[in-house]
């Protein structure tokens, strides 16, 4: 493929760790300690434990009718803004793309326009957008 999936136990913008995904990764790591008998031998199905840690590395936006909605977003390096006064920028060195967008590990997203509001606070995977009522035509 195009690299649209990743193996990671972290989700929700790298704030939460899934214990099920960690268990799946550790199970496969332990199985690789005896690779000839387990993985190459009769227990090759142990590789299916990796599925619990597979996540999309992309952002795809949909409207409320679940139709694809291309929206411009900025993708850039995440900046730590904890303790800074005012409304500091959360990304630096950004490029503007139109969704769907492929994300890297330490990348952050921001919206170019406020025409749509997301129904989720986490900007990864599949996001449903609602038309912003406050937006003036």
Residue 54: predicted pLDDT? 84
* Mean pLDDT across 108-124: 77
What's the pLDDT score for residue 6? 79
Q: Summarize pLDDT for 32-53 with one digit per residue, the tens.
A: 898 888 888 888 888 888 888 8
Average pLDDT of the segment spanning 68-75 = 86
pTM value? 0.63
Strand bridging mode 58-62 / 91-98: unpaired
For β-strands 116-118 and 125-131, DSSP reports them as antiparallel
- Give the per-residue pLDDT at 81: 65
Q: Report d(CA 86, CA 93) in Å as an integer.
A: 20
More confident residue, 23 or 15: 23
Neighbour-count burial for 51-78, b at 16+ CB within 10 Å, e otherwise: ebbebebbbbbeeeeeeebebebbbbee
pLDDT at 136: 62
């Amino acid at each position: 493929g195009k690299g649209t999936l990743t193996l990671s136990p972290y989700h929700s913008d790298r704030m939460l760790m899934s214990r099920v995904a960690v268990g799946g990764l550790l199970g496969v790591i332990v199985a690789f300690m005896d690779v000839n008998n387990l993985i190459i031998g009769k227990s090759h199905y142990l590789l299916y434990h990796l599925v619990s840690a597979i996540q999309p590395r992309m952002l795809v936006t949909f409207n409320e009718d679940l139709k694809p909605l291309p929206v411009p977003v900025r993708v850039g390096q995440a900046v730590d803004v904890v303790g800074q006064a005012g409304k500091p920028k959360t990304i630096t060195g950004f490029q503007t793309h139109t969704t769907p967008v492929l994300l890297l590990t330490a990348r952050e997203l921001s919206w170019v326009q406020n025409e749509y509001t997301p129904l989720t606070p986490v900007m990864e995977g599949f996001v449903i957008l609602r038309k912003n009522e406050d937006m003036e035509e």
